[in-house]
Amino acid sequence: MTSENRQALMDGFRDGTPIGLGYFVVGFSLGIVAKYVGLSPLQGFVISLLNNASAGEYAAFTVIGSDAPYIEIALLTFIANARYILMSTVLSQKFSPDTPFYHRIFVGFDVTDEIFGIAIARGGRWLNPFYNYGAMLTALPGWSLGTACGIVAWNFFSPAAVSALSVALYGMFLAVIIPPARKDKIIGGAVVMSFLLSYLAENFFPEVSAGNRTILLTILIAGAAAVLYPIKEDNDDA
């Protein structure tokens, strides 16, 4: 491993540690749902290890509890996690053109809202995939262990008490978006518009799933910002 990759790995591990700790706490709530549908701590751990997504896992656990067929579980999970396709597309543009394809595959394995946020906010012309690997070293174990511990905690804590821990996820996400929003008023305006439009969409279009609303609003807001306030690149970068 080169010194550059090693430094990127350590930076990712440092920035991903709060995310991993937050995932561990939030995983408790998901573990309660997993226990409710009859999953063991080992089963919950493996599912969270292979599918690091709260909405997708919650949807999957719900249909598992109703004895749905495998195809329905797979389809519902795909729809709930569809927004990560959009995030992965954006991340792929941050990689240098000569980045090997297998790095893109491994990074795409664990694209979450928070990891996407810190990766996009990282400075520099190109994103080193080892930065994402460092963040994944804390995010994946934190999420998986949190889910397993939540299943075990079913016997010791009330569902309301464990569910209250999920507030930590919102605080962690705010910590990701506020610094760049304070530095750039265009980003700040886009963040405010995303909050407002998300609230309106949830109340006026409740039949649209949360994942699909996220995709549509992301395309709408990001597209409008790109057209109205394009980023000017130097000739060398261009």
In tens, the pLDDT along 61-70 reads 877 877 778 8
Residue 175 falls within a domain, yes or no?
Answer: no
- Residues 163 and 193 both lie in one domain: no
CB 28 within 8 A of CB 149: yes
Whether residue 179 has pLDDT greater than 80: no
How many CB atoms lie under 10 A from the CB of residue 53?
A: 22
Report residue 10's pLDDT band, with 50, 70 and 90 as the boundaries. Answer: very high
- Residues 143 and 208 both lie in one domain: no
Radius of gyration of the chain (CA): 19
Residue 85 falls within a domain, yes or no?
Answer: yes
Whether residue 135 has pLDDT greater than 80: yes
Burial class (CB in 10 A: 0-12, 13-18, 19+), 110: buried
* pLDDT recorded at residue 138: 92
* pLDDT recorded at residue 238: 45
- The pTM for the full model equals 0.69
* pLDDT recorded at residue 60: 79
- Residues 125 and 226 both lie in one domain: no
| Domain total of the chain | 2
- Residues 147 and 207 both lie in one domain: no
Mean pLDDT of 114-135: 88
At which of 135, 168, 201 does a domain end? 168
Please tell me the distance from the alpha carbon of residue 81 to that of residue 83, in angstroms, as a whole number. Answer: 6
**pLDDT > 90 in the chain, percent:** 18
Among 128, 119, 134, which Cα is nearest to 99's? Answer: 128
Residue 67 falls within a domain, yes or no?
Answer: yes
- Residues 72 and 158 both lie in one domain: yes
> Which domain, by its residues, includes 78?
3-168
What's the mean per-residue pLDDT of the chain? 82
Residue 178 falls within a domain, yes or no?
Answer: no
Mean pLDDT of 160-187: 70
Please tell me the distance from the alpha carbon of residue 9 to that of residue 22, in angstroms, as a whole number. Answer: 20
Please tell me the distance from the alpha carbon of residue 151 to that of residue 28, in angstroms, as a whole number. Answer: 7
* pLDDT recorded at residue 11: 93
Mean pLDDT of 178-197: 84
**Element spanning 109, H or E:** none
- Residues 101 and 189 both lie in one domain: no
Whether residue 130 has pLDDT greater than 70: yes
Please tell me the distance from the alpha carbon of residue 68 to that of residue 45, in angstroms, as a whole number. Answer: 21
- Residues 134 and 30 both lie in one domain: yes
- Residues 149 and 188 both lie in one domain: no
* pLDDT recorded at residue 14: 93
- Residues 193 and 85 both lie in one domain: no
- Please state the φ and ψ torsions of residue 203, each to the nearest 5 degrees: -85, -30
Whether residue 190 has pLDDT greater than 80: yes
**Helix, strand, or coil (residue 12):** helix
